[in-house]
Amino acid sequence: MLNILKNVRFQSVMPLVLLGQDGPLKKEIENLGIKVFVDGNITSAPYNKALWRRSCLQSYLHIGRSQKAFAAFLDAHPVDAVYLNNSMLYPLLKVAKAKGCKTLIHIREHWPMDEHRLQLGWLQSGIRRYADEVLAINRYSASMVPGIAAKTTIVYDWIDFSDRYEEMPLERIFNEDCSNLKVLLFTGGFIPIKGAYEVISSFKECIKSPDYRLLVLGTPARETGDKRMWDLVDSDPRIKCLPSVYKLKHLVQQSYCMLSYFTIPHANLAQAESIVLQTPVICAATDESEEYSDGGRLSCLFPINDIEAFRKALTNIESIVPKLQMELSHGSRLTEELFSKENNVKKLQNLFDQM
């Protein structure tokens, strides 16, 4: 949303932003000269959760309160159009249409078609009936609601490294000469759905060479993080951890290969970023990772949640990486154009101008 507000020209339009909670995003938007409102009653529907869960039922029960709060906001601040920044806010579409607004919703999720189909059906029905226009971040997101292709535009979360470079030599991180070392990069911290345990344990067990290192980005503070994960990291001196790094371009460029082990399908922007920078990637095969890698040509893909296939790829990394480097030298431009800021901002601008 922040990227949209920064890059779309609202020439004859005055944007207002309504957030469900206060935080750093509010200040960032206010710095753009845009009015921001906060209402803690604004909530989203549960994302791909079993209906019988207590927390899930409570979330659905709160939707009515959220809709009333949104209706009150629209009464106090009459607007012509409403943009919802993710598909789980779909219950608010009905409210916006009842107030006479044009409606636009942004689908960012990967909800498998065979999981929790009742709840998925509610989402699909709400978007079909009440959305005038739909944005999707990739082909799978665009397919989540069948029958709306005519009003759906794919706009990728563009990759822009213009302010994401900072000199971060690997020598400084590992405190040793890295000129002959092969550093593998993992950006999922200790997050389970990113496959943190699988990646770190597989590196330790499958790659015995003293010439390899593993750099884990996005790890929590030692005193608050998962003790099991820290024990695993501490058991191998070749592994180093860093907190989240926004300016990571230099780190990706220096890496021998990027590793990923998603345990549930979702958009793998780190994969796309690595491809653009021509750094080889080993990652789970999903609709998104296949799309971002030209059908798997620009990455080494293994079946999702197949730990043996992942470990086999790690074992064969010496033969995999040179082949990927060759493919990337010729084909990374395809992914770069897919995630081009210029191309995607233009599509957004056209859509907002038409509305």
pLDDT confidence of residue 354: 86
Tokens encoding 141: 């997101």
pLDDT confidence of residue 41: 95
pLDDT confidence of residue 177: 96
Domains 2-158+340-354 and 170-337 share a fold: yes
**pLDDT less than 70: residues of the chain:** none
pLDDT digits (tens, 9 = 90+) for 296-322: 999 999 999 999 999 999 999 999 999
Query: Is there a contact between 185 and 277 (Cβ–Cβ < 8 Å)?
Result: no
Tokens encoding 4: 């949209």
Residue spans per domain, the chain: 2-158+340-354, 170-337
Dihedral sign, CA of 172, 188, 213, 317? negative
Q: Which amino acid is at 80?
A: D
pLDDT confidence of residue 13: 85
Fold for 170-337, please state it: Rossmann fold (3.40.50)
Q: Write down the residue that tokens 């080494």 correspond to.
A: 300
CA dihedral (280, 282, 284, 287) in degrees, to 10, reads 20
CA–CA distance, 250 with 234 (Å, rounded to integer): 25
pLDDT confidence of residue 285: 97
Fold for 2-158+340-354, please state it: Rossmann fold (3.40.50)
CA–CA distance, 312 with 221 (Å, rounded to integer): 32
pLDDT confidence of residue 189: 96
pLDDT confidence of residue 225: 77
